Each structure stands twice: as structure tokens, then as C-alpha cells.
A and B are shown apart, each in its own frame.
Chain A
Amino acid sequence: MELAIHTEVSEHAHQDMYSHSFSHKVTAQGVDVFYGEKQALKNVNLDIPSNMVTALIGPSGCGKSTFLRCLNRMNDVVDGCRVQGHIKLDGQDIYARGVDVVHLRARVGMVFQKPNPFPKSIYDNIAYGPRIHGLAKNRTDLDEIVLTSLDKAGLLAEVRDRLEAPGTGLSGGQQQRLCIARAIAVEPEVILMDEPCSALDPIATAKIEELIDELKQNYTIIMVTHSMQQAARVSQKTAFFHLGELVEEGDTTDIFTKPVDERTQAYVTGRIG
């Protein structure tokens, strides 16, 4: 009996690569900020992609809120504050001469840490912006804007039957959604959020996070947060600031699973704060 033993093999190599493409809504180039003598931001360069949530993280005093406030020139009202470098919205320098700051702040809205509704009715809280910016031709238009804004902010179902009640009578989470509705009412392109959930309980926080996720379809959102879990949950891009420097920025997944810089690594794992 003669034996022959044969073997055959075929090999397959596969590659799965994918790439993103997106445009930048806001770009910061060489931004320095000084409060008097003290330099709060050092040469920050950051591109903010359109229709995404960008989270700014870092320990207290790292400059993340300062950077956020540069994006709609909120720092203009801070005594002794100087901003150098270029910040562009759709390619236009927002610090250029002749820029109408009121108009800029309508395009770049802001939601603060503590819900701050006006001491007015729910209706008037929303209607205030569209009125002063002349966005409504008549009462019907204005009603439409108020209802649509409340709906987009996920609050309409809860307040539909009490639009004339004071905004300050709502719960903390509802007040924050009211402030988001107020920001949306003037048709902004960018929404800045400075720790929007820090004063809220976990359920109200989850509702805001769900809302942020929906809003990114229509707006570019930039959010400062102290909760790394929140940054990981809601943002697509994360920028880490430390001692006034932008240390690292990139896809949120990368920042939280395999950051490149040792300082980012130390911060996200709880080694420095």
C-alpha cells in the first residue's frame, strides 16, 4: 500500500478600514487669553466639527470654560480679559471689526451650569429672544416658534397646558430644558453648554443627554463637563485642557480608551485632578 498525504491551504487577508469626513463649524487658531497679567489659555488650536457634540474636559482652572466663553465673545464683558488669535465661525473671524456681537450670540447660543430662566412665564422665556431679534412677524408666528422650540427641547408635553405659568416654578431639569428651548428659539447654529447637568439629578441628566444627542442633527454643540462619563456618553469629539493648554483632542472613543498624552491618560484614569 502506498501512502500519499496532501495538504492544501488558502488564505484570506481582510482589511476593514473606514474614514470620516466632515466640515468644521468653528476653528480656533493660536488663541491666547489673558485675565490681566495671568495667561489663562496658551496657543489653543482646535477645530470643531459641524453637527457633532464636542466635549471640553479638564481639571478646574484648566481653561476649558474660558475657551467656551471665547466662542460667543462672552469674555468681552469680563474686565481685564484679552483674547488674541483667531476664532472663526464658518470661516469668518468673530473678533474682526464690525462684527455685531448681539447677532453673533444669536448664532452661537449658550446654556449655563445653573438653569437661569427669566422671572417670566414659560411662554415669555421662549418668546423673548425671537421678539428682540425680530424673528416673528405676528403673534401666530411667535406662538409657532414657542411651541416648536419647546418641542425640540423635549419639554412641550410637560408644559403645554401651563404656558403662562412662571418658568421659575418648573423643576431643575425642566428649567434647564426651558433654557435650551430659549437658546433654540433664536435659531442658533452653535450651542455652547457649560456643565449643563451639574445641578441636575440623574434622571433629569439623562433627559438632557438624550436631548443633546437629538439636537446635534441640527446644531453644532460644544459642551464643558466635569463628568468624564458624560463626555464619553454624549460627545463624538473630546478635547482635554490642562493648565491653559489644549493637551490632546480626538475621537471621544480614542481619548477614553487609548489617549496618547500621559497627562490625558492621568486625568481620565483619575490620577491627576
Chain B
Amino acid sequence: MEHDHIVTSFDEDLGRLDSVIAEMGGLAERQLADAVKALCRRDVELAQKVIDTDKRIDDLEEEIDNFTIRVLALRQPMADDLRAVVVALKMASNLERIGDYAKNIAKRTLTLSSMDPVGNATSTIQRMAHQVQSMIQNVLDAYGAHDIAKADDVRIRDEEVDLMHTSLFRELLTYMLEDPRDITACTHLLFVAKNIERIGDHVTSIAENVHFLVSGEMPTDERPKSDLSSETVVAEG
């Protein structure tokens, strides 16, 4: 965005919004990476660090909330400025939720670390998390560069996350049927998988908001959806 308002302090406000969002986004991405790393390595210390760091994301969200309300009241932004402020507010909420999901993965890691590992479910979870991390990176780049094509690409890629989630769901069901002693660990892993899938949804929502930020329109086409876990059943025969 070209920053050359007649009132220069307005430019400073918008610049500050951008930089807080960038900080929050970087933090959310690292929280997810650390949470999944802690899960795979059964690293209780790292998991605890993720849990503690979540407070920082919450604080940043509050900062964005207060700041956007101030900008709306005092500057009464219009057109692309209005979109920038509203999108920052919505993105902050998405990023805060992403942080919460990462924290929840870390909490479950504390529990799972005292149980026997189950199959190779964590490697599928790791692949899923990598995909979502790269989507977070790309959507933050798209936001910074006002790159609508990149944002749209992220939106489409959520389908792969959904597919992985569905397949992981089936995998974990199979483990549970094979050995009921794994049910507790598998249930926690199901929630971990669901958390990552939800993070993907929040990234998609950010991508749609970046599209709106740049063009003034929300994407209208239906994006492909492949999370079929809610229709998945086990038929015994």
C-alpha cells in the first residue's frame, strides 16, 4: 500500500498494524512448528515452552484489538485503509486461534509423552503440520506483498490438509480397533490432527481476507473441500 496520507501519523498507525500482524504471524507459525516438533520428539520441555509462549500471542491480539478500535474511532478510515484495518482485526483473531491450537497440541504432548508411541501416526501428523506451516508462511507473504494470486493458492491448498486429516482419522481408527490399549493415546492424537486441520481452516480464512484486502471482494468460488472425517464410519463384517 502506498503510504502518503496528508495526515502522516495515520501512515504510522497503519504501518504499526502491519508490523504487529507480522510479528503475530511469525510467532503463530513457530508455535505450530515447535508444538509438532515436541510431539514427535516427545520433548516435554519444548512443549512447556509452547504453552508458556501462547500468552505472548494473546497479548498481541489484545494490542491489535485496542489499536484497530482506536484507528476506526479516530481516523474513520475509508476504502483500502478501511479494508486494511478490518482485515488486521480479523487476522489477529485467526492467528490467536492458531496459537490456541498449537498450545493444545503441546498440552496433549505432555500427556502423550508418558504413553507408548502408536504406529507411525506422528509421521503423518508431521507431514500435515509441514503443509500447514508452509501455508502460514505463504499467507503471511501474500499479506505483506498484497499478492492475491499467492493468497488464492493457499486457499486451494487447504484441500490437501483435509485429505491428510481424513486419512489420519482412518489410520487412528484402525490402530484403536487393533489394540484397545491404544485408545487413549489415539484419541489424543485425533485431537492433535483435528487441531492442525482447524489451523488450516484459519489459514484459509486469512487467505480469503487477504484476497478481500487487495480486491475489495471476498472470493466467490467454492473452494474444494475434502475433509470427510465427519462422514467416516467403521463397518464390521
Interface residues of A (CB under 8 A from B): 1-9, 11, 13, 228-229, 232, 256-259, 264-265, 268-273
Contacts and interface: CB of A to CB of B under 8 A. Distances in A.
A4 B237 contact: yes
Given A1-B177, A5-B173, A13-B222, A265 B80 contact: yes
Contact of B78 (A3, A268, A272, A273): A268
Contacts, number: 73
Contacts of A11: 222, 225
A1 B236 contact: yes
Contacts of B233: 5-6
Q: Nearest 5 A-B pairs (CB), nearest first? A: A258-B216, A7-B228, A268-B78, A2-B237, A4-B235
Interface in B158-177: 166, 170, 173-174, 177
Interface in B1-26: 2, 4-7, 10
Interface in B27-49: none
Interface residues of B, number: 32
Contact of B235 (A6, A264, A269): A6
B236 A8 contact: no
Given A270-B10, A271-B5, A3 B79 contact: no
Contacts of A4: 235, 237
Nearest to A259: B79
B76 interface: yes
Given A4-B237, A9-B228, A257 B222 contact: no
B79 A269 contact: yes
A228 B222 contact: no
A5 B236 contact: no
Contacts of A5: 170, 173, 232-235
B118 interface: no
Contacts of A264: 79
